[in-house]
Amino acid sequence: LVEDPSSEVGAGEVLLRTIWLSMDPYQRNWMAGARNYGTAARPGATVIGRAVSEVVSSNDRRFAPGDIVCGETGWQTHAVAPADALESVDATLAPISTALGVLGAPGLTAWVGMADLGQPRSGETVVVSAAAGAVGSVAGQLARIFGARVVGVAGDPRKCRHVVEDLGFHACVSHRDSDVGAALARECPGRVDLHFDNTGGPVTDAVYGLLARDARIVLCGLVAEYGAADARGHDLRPLLAAQATLKAFSVRRNLHRMTEWRRRGSEWIREGALVHREDVVRGIERAPEAFIRMLSGQSIGKALVQVAEDPSPR
């Protein structure tokens, strides 16, 4: 932790008090030097990340003290940010922390990937990896809402119980199973029509061996391969045999649809069709701990750090 005085609030800028910090896999890529997140990481830089914050003071007429906003303000207790880079959070829709999870970028990712790209149909079999995570948990529930049979892949029996009993997946297997391919084959006797891939790694190889004719693969993430010294490519021959299609995407090209997603997602939450869970660690000094928990698969649901008291009703 480093203590620095706050910057002066210039014209069109806002001083913010951070309430909630989001822990996300893309931050690992940034730390490894990836340049598709703006400025590449450098020693001493503030870790990037989305946050929900309260406006302390504002030099922009769009925001006033007490407003709740969301933006890419990083791992810090206070931030000065351009008003253009912030969006208002409607505390009447749901708890404000959901703007970082089910009603934020993870939920939008799941919706764009599943509804727009995957397009599951009634009666199809859909496999979702990292099914207990922030994106996978929503993606699988959306596939269920659309009428598909959904099989999740998660890290251990505790997560699998959550995926089936709380999220409503039809089945779930552990990627730590001695033969995850055989476990998936038992749950997907008619083969796999759609794979929502959050992890890469051995799970991806196992699913590729079970693809149905004209299967679709939505590549959302490769968390099992981030930072891996021995990361390798996957055998694409099963895709050729199945005449499958693979589409990779990034939510950053779809952020303009956030308002639309929040409206749709909040309706499903109110109806009880979409449920969510948060894994909360308190105190900014514990952000590295929360980040490691998320990357190592220890967290269930959306990984968050609560930095300050939440003024909104929960």
* Domain assignment of residue 204, yes or no: yes
160 vs 226: which has the higher pLDDT? 160
Terminal CA-CA length for the chain:
29
In the beta sheet, which residues pair with residue 159? none
Residues 198 and 283 in one domain: no
Residue-level length of the chain: 314
115 and 238 in a common domain? yes
In a domain, 93, yes or no: yes
* Residue 82 lies inside a defined structural domain of this protein: yes
Q: Output the pLDDT for position 4.
A: 72
Domain of 189, CATH number, reads 3.40.50.720
Residue 270 in domain: no
Average pLDDT, the chain: 92
SS (H, E, C) 249-308: CCHHHHHHHHHHHHHHHHHHHHHCCCCCCEEEEECHHHHHHHHHHHHCCCCCEEEEEECC
The band of 223, judged by pLDDT with boundaries at 50, 70 and 90, is: confident
Last-in-domain residue among 206, 235, 252: 252
Domain that holds residue 54: 13-100+277-306
* Dihedral sign of CA atoms 199, 200, 204, 205 in order: negative
Q: Looking at the structure, tell me whether residues 124 and 240 fall in a common domain.
A: yes
- Tally Cβ neighbours within 10 Å of residue 47: 15
Instruction: Note whether 112 and 189 are same-domain residues.
Output: yes
Which residues lie across from 70 on neighbouring strands? 52, 87
5 belongs to a structural domain: no
Name the residue with higher pLDDT: 149 or 298. Answer: 149
Confidence at 198, pLDDT banded by 50, 70, 90: very high
Q: Assess whether 188 and 158 both reside in one domain.
A: yes
161-181: average pLDDT: 95
Q: What angle do CA 299, 305, 310 make, to 5 degrees?
A: 130
| pLDDT at res. 228 | 61
pTM of the model: 0.87
Output 82 or 35, whichever has higher pLDDT.
82
Can you give the pLDDT at residue 205?
95
The verdict on residue 264 lying in a domain is no
pLDDT of residue 260: 95
- For residue 132, being part of any structural domain is answered with yes
- Of 206, 237, 252, the residue that ends a domain is 252
Q: Render pLDDT for 1-55 as a digit per residue (tens, 0 to 9).
A: 777 766 789 999 999 999 999 998 888 877 876 655 556 677 788 888 999 999 9
Residues 19, 46, single domain; the answer is yes
Higher-confidence residue of 233 and 302: namely 302
How many domains does the structure of the chain reveal? 2
Q: What percent of the chain has pLDDT over 70?
A: 93
Chain segment 116-163, per-residue pLDDT in tens: 999 999 999 999 999 999 999 999 999 999 999 999 999 999 999 999
Q: What's the confidence (pLDDT) of residue 257?
A: 94
Q: Using CA atoms, how far apart are residues 312 and 314, in angstroms rounded to an integer?
A: 6
Statement to judge: residues 152 and 240 lie in one domain: yes
Whether 241 and 121 map to the same domain: the answer is yes
pLDDT of residue 53: 98
Looking at the structure, tell me whether residues 128 and 243 fall in a common domain: yes
pLDDT in tens, 246-279: 999 999 899 999 999 999 999 999 999 999 999 9
- Residue 42 has a pLDDT of 77
